[in-house]
Amino acid sequence: MSVEVERKFLCSDDTLKTLEEVGVCLGQRQFHDQYFDTPEFELTLRDMWLRKRKGCWELKCPTATVNGTEDPKAEQSLAAALCTHYKEITSLPEIHHRVKEAVKDACEDRETEAAPSHGDESCISKMNLVCFAEYTTVRRSFTLGEEGVQIDLDQADFGYHVGEIEVLIPEGGDVRSAQEKIRNAAQKLGLPGNERVEGKMNVYLKRYHPEHYAKLLSAHVL
């Protein structure tokens, strides 16, 4: 299981020019995402994001605050505040277990239902889940040469463009080191040091599902 440490940014023409000058393009790909929740938003209100991408289920769950403390330096604290970190779970049995724990009465028979095998999607399909967001993204990926740092430029089919600086670490790994790598990459790209940028999901929900968006705001998820 890995943890995704990420900072989002808006890519201006100057940022793109710098990225093309100092970075190496890793290629371009397109993918279609479907996000699922119960009608009562029981997963997303817990900041749990269940999606299907390229036929595979993935679950993103929040991780705890690093060591329960703040960085001593103000600039490090700000860099940390601009980043998110989520566990990325791709194992179907683990996804099933976590969703079942989070969603009350989600399965048709919680007492006798067996955990699914790694290739068995039937139990997830039996849960009371509906697709609340669906969109296609074209992604260009770059690296700046620093180990473990990837920069993605995403163009969603509902008209939103956003960049992401991402570092993947193993669960229990050094989150602060990942945050420092992201801060260094942001400086190389000339990004503002205090700019908070909305992700694709935030913008999608705000535009197309304002009630869902409002509930997530009230719960301090977004």
The residue to which tokens 């103000």 are assigned = 74
Residue 76: per-residue pLDDT: 53
DSSP string of the chain, one letter each residue: -EEEEEEEE---HHHHHHHHHHSEEEEEEEEEEEEEE-TT-TTGGGT-EEEEETTEEEEEEE---GGGS--SSHHHHHHHHT-EEEEEE--HHHHHHHHHHHSTT-SS-TTTPPPP-TT--HHHHHSS-EEEEEEEEEEEEEE-SSTTEEEEEEEETTS-EEEEEEEEEETTS-HHHHHHHHHHHHHHTT--TT-----HHHHHHHHH-HHHHHHHHHTT--
Residue 68: per-residue pLDDT: 41
What is the distance between the alpha carbons of residues 108 and 125, in angstroms, rounded to a whole number?
Answer: 11
Contact 149, 185 (CB under 8 A): yes
What is the distance between the alpha carbons of residues 137 and 118, in angstroms, rounded to a whole number?
Answer: 27
Residue 171: per-residue pLDDT: 85
Which range marks the domain in which residue 88 is found? 2-218
Strand partners, 36: 50, 131
What is the distance between the alpha carbons of residues 178 and 197, in angstroms, rounded to a whole number?
Answer: 19
> From its phi and psi, is residue 29 left (phi > 0), alpha (psi between -120 and 50) or beta?
beta
Residue 200: per-residue pLDDT: 97
Tell me whether residue 184 is exposed, middle or buried, using C-beta atoms within 10 angstroms of its C-beta: 0 to 12, 13 to 18, 19 or more.
middle
Residue 205: per-residue pLDDT: 98
In the chain (222 residues long), the average pLDDT of successive 10-residue segments reads 91 89 93 95 96 93 60 56 90 90 61 49 74 97 86 96 94 89 91 87 97 96 90
pTM: 0.84
- Residue 160 half-sphere exposure, CB side, CA atoms within 13 Å? 18
Instruction: Name the domain count of the chain.
Output: 1
CATH code where residue 87 lies: 2.40.320.10
CA dist list (Å): 76 to 82, 83, 128, 167, 199: 10, 11, 42, 16, 22
Backbone φ and ψ for 212, nearest 5 degrees, come out as: -60, -45
Contact 150, 166 (CB under 8 A): yes
Residue 147: per-residue pLDDT: 75
